[in-house]
Amino acid sequence: MKQIKIFDTTLRDGEQSPGCSMNSKEKLEMAKQLDKLGIDVMEAGFAASSPGDFNSVKEIAEAMKDCTVASLARAVAGDIDKAGEAVKGAVSPRIHTFIATSPIHMKYKLLMEPDAVVEAAVGAVKRAKKFVSDVEFSAEDATRSDTDFLARIIDAVIKAGATTINLPDTVGYAAPDEYYNFLMEVRKKCPALDDVVLSVHCHNDLGLAVANSLAAVKAGAGQMECTINGIGERAGNAALEEIVMALKTRKDIFDADTNITTTEIMRTSKMLTRITGVKVQPNKAIVGENAFAHEAGIHQDGMLKNKATYEIISPESIGITEKNLVLGKHSGRAALKARIEELGYNISDEELNVAFKKFKDIADKKKKVYDSDIEAIVTKETVKIPKVYELFRFVSNSGNTITTTTAVCLKKNGKEIERIGTGDGPIDAAFDAMGKIVGKELNIEDYRLQSITQGGDALGDATVILSDPEFEGRKKPRVQGRGLSTDVIEASLTAYVNAVNKLIYEENQNKPAAAAEQN
Ligand code: KIV
Ligand code: ZN
């Protein structure tokens, strides 16, 4: 049976999708989970894109024990050098360099003749080889490129030392049979491809990313590039969990498998959702809320008689546990710690202290604390950002016949600051007060409020996404803050405060070079 390498690009292509940006601490937390999931290659970022990205790739490269860590780099010297520098601390470092090969990209985007593109690609691979032995070359927009030209450039970069060749469907244009035929044709025209790893990277613009990736397995691909929950540019990338479970479930037709520990899939998917605040659609294959829900009477009847009637994969195989142990206000630290560990988290004593305090606050307000409440507490407390601002107290006065006011008092580095905001409802007024305290107009790009469990006393889970229109660094941070409370105003304010703290942290990481030097 063929072993397919899983190349995860959640932290690079995935992070490029709107609303999915992560700070370096969140990326590290995600990277550790991806390593635990068993991916073979992790694309940790695009080191040359900003100082923050460089540091994050470097930090991840130094922390990973098992998987290969790659940085993306355009086929230009500066990018290759930054990528080489960032991944050099990895146990198994890789540079992933790319250049577009389709006529439309070469003519309009690169403004380069095909000969110059080949020269740049070869130069990039040779330069990358000075840093690492493991070099991947991607022919961007390969599926809209001329196959004779592809064979020429691939042959040249393999001679220059490339060890993996990726032929992406960058714009999600291909159909499965067509992609299969395309790969077979390029292999025929370029026999050297058989001596390196053939990789595929499919986008989902026509909803065919996973189907195309699977067609590529039959065409001899040995590496699949994909992301958790299918996040990525535009309509996203091929979803890791779907590729992996399709290969596992249909070994009979694909005759291939991966090194993924499938019981970690659900946890990884949920972690990404919590970090980015971007939920997966309920009917999403494998990790959607309804993926294992059987609603119709006939289906339920069949399931009771024999699960195989309607279930082709078991929930347990992706890490969904039936057990939903309920804790309450009388549960102690040991019970909380045991449950956290059963849910698959390792937390330090210090983190347990914080989580336990939060747990007690919640247990005082609601009768039952469920696994999802606990997971929310743990994730929230494991990502630590310096707390410049802290929510101290608030009072809201609202009604349908008065102007709503919310007085908010924050502590900034220990000192109290109080302002009164007005608005259309208590949360709008609270955010108005927050803007006055922080002293600048921040853009609220998104605000979401949802309940974590059922019932009137459910935990409210608020997400606020902020950006700073005045920030002048190269990469403008767009940060997400979460807040949990049984009181929705408190949850929303906490989310806002967390987002502001992250914004301060991110802006410091991504300061324009001159300003960074001055500080
Ligand atoms: O979609 C694409 O072509 C890419 C390349 C950089 C591999 O993301
Ligand atoms: Zn891509």
What is the C-alpha separation between 347 and 284, in angstroms, rounded?
30
Helix, strand, coil % in the chain, rounded to nearest 5:
45, 20, 30
Which residues have CB less than 5 Å away from ligand 2 (the ion)? 13
φ, ψ dihedrals at 338, nearest 5°: -60, -45
What is the C-alpha separation between 247 and 221, in angstroms, rounded?
13
Task: Provide the pLDDT confidence category of residue 478 given band limits of 50, 70 and 90.
Answer: confident
Q: For a pocket test of ligand 1, which of 13, 17, 46, 95 has the largest count of ligand atoms closer than 8 A to its C-beta?
A: 13
At 254, which helix (H) or strand (E)? helix 251-254
What is the C-alpha separation between 365 and 380, in angstroms, rounded?
19
Determine if ligand 1 sits within 6 Å of the CB of residue 98. Answer: yes
What is the C-alpha separation between 272 and 29, in angstroms, rounded?
10
Beta-ladder partners of 135: 95
Determine if ligand 1 sits within 6 Å of the CB of residue 201. Answer: yes
> With b meaning 16 or more CB within 10 Å and e meaning fewer, what string describes 66-76?
ebbbbbbbbbe
Determine if ligand 1 sits within 6 Å of the CB of residue 509. Answer: no
Ligand 1 atom index nearest CA of 237: 1
Task: Provide the pLDDT confidence category of residue 381 given band limits of 50, 70 and 90.
Answer: very low
Mean pLDDT of 325-340: 82
CA neighbor of 180 nearest in space, from 151, 148, 149, 143: 143
Residue closest via CA to ligand 1's atom 1 equals: 170
CA neighbor of 221 nearest in space, from 190, 196, 250: 196
Ligand 1 atom index nearest CA of 168: 3
- Which pair of structure tokens corresponds to residue 365? 């307000």
| pLDDT for position 171 | 98
Ligand 1 atom index nearest CA of 225: 7
Residue 518 has pLDDT above 70, yes or no: no
| pLDDT for position 293 | 77
Report strand pairing: 2-8 vs 460-467: unpaired
What's the gap in Å between 172 CA and the centre of ligand 1?
11
What is the C-alpha separation between 76 and 60, in angstroms, rounded?
23
Determine if ligand 1 sits within 6 Å of the CB of residue 204. Answer: no
| pLDDT for position 179 | 98
CA neighbor of 40 nearest in space, from 71, 8, 14: 8
What is the C-alpha separation between 194 and 188, in angstroms, rounded?
9
| pLDDT for position 325 | 61
The residue among 67 and 311 whose pLDDT is bigger is 67
| pLDDT for position 512 | 58
Q: 194-249, pLDDT tens digit by residue?
A: 999 999 999 999 999 999 999 999 999 999 999 999 999 999 999 999 999 999 99
Q: For a pocket test of ligand 1, which of 17, 49, 98 has the largest count of ligand atoms closer than 8 A to its C-beta?
A: 98
Mean pLDDT of 62-78: 97
Q: For a pocket test of ligand 1, which of 137, 203, 212, 237 has the largest count of ligand atoms closer than 8 A to its C-beta?
A: 203
Residue 466 has pLDDT above 80, yes or no: yes
| Residue pointed to by tokens 């691909």 | 221
Q: What is the average pLDDT score of the chain? A: 90
What is the C-alpha separation between 57 and 90, in angstroms, rounded?
10
Which of 73-82, 230-239, 314-323, 448-457 has the weakest average pLDDT?
448-457
Report strand pairing: 460-467 vs 478-485: antiparallel
Long-range contacts of 119-124 (CB under 8 A, 24+ apart): 120/75, 120/76, 121/75, 121/97, 121/153, 121/156, 121/157, 122/156, 122/157, 122/159, 122/160, 123/75, 123/77, 124/73, 124/74, 124/75, 124/76, 124/77, 124/80, 124/97, 124/99
Per DSSP, helices labelled H in 370-457 are 371-382, 426-438
Residue 452 has pLDDT above 80, yes or no: no
Beta-ladder partners of 5: 223
Mean pLDDT of 425-453: 89
What's the gap in Å between 201 CA and the centre of ligand 1?
7
CA neighbor of 498 nearest in space, from 259, 187, 274, 294: 274
Which ligand is nearest the CA of 169, by number?
1
Alpha-carbon distance values, 294 to 299, 307, 311 (Å): 6, 11, 9
Alpha-carbon distance values, 245 to 318, 390, 451 (Å): 9, 43, 30
How far, rounded to the nearest angstrom, does the alpha carbon of residue 421 sit from its chain's CA centroid?
A: 35
Q: What angle do CA 297, 299, 304 make, to 5 degrees?
A: 95
Determine if ligand 1 sits within 6 Å of the CB of residue 140. Answer: yes
Which of 251-265, 396-410, 423-437, 475-489 has the weakest average pLDDT?
475-489
Name the burial class of residue 65, with classes exposed (0-12), middle (13-18) and buried (19+) by CB atoms within 10 angstroms of its CB.
Answer: exposed
For 351, residues 6+ apart whose C-beta sits below 8 A from its C-beta are 378, 381, 382
CA neighbor of 462 nearest in space, from 434, 490, 491: 491
Task: Provide the pLDDT confidence category of residue 17 given band limits of 50, 70 and 90.
Answer: confident
| pLDDT for position 519 | 29
For 293, residues 6+ apart whose C-beta sits below 8 A from its C-beta are none
Residue 333 has pLDDT above 70, yes or no: yes
Residue 280 has pLDDT above 60, yes or no: yes
Which ligand is nearest the CA of 17, by number?
2
CA neighbor of 447 nearest in space, from 421, 476, 469, 425: 425
Determine if ligand 1 sits within 6 Å of the CB of residue 15. Answer: no
What's the gap in Å between 220 CA and the centre of ligand 2?
20
Is 180 in contact with 213 (CB distance < 8 Å)?
A: no
Ligand 1 atom index nearest CA of 138: 7
- Which pair of structure tokens corresponds to residue 145? 């490129």
| pLDDT for position 175 | 98
What's the gap in Å between 201 CA and the centre of ligand 2?
6
Mean pLDDT of 505-514: 68
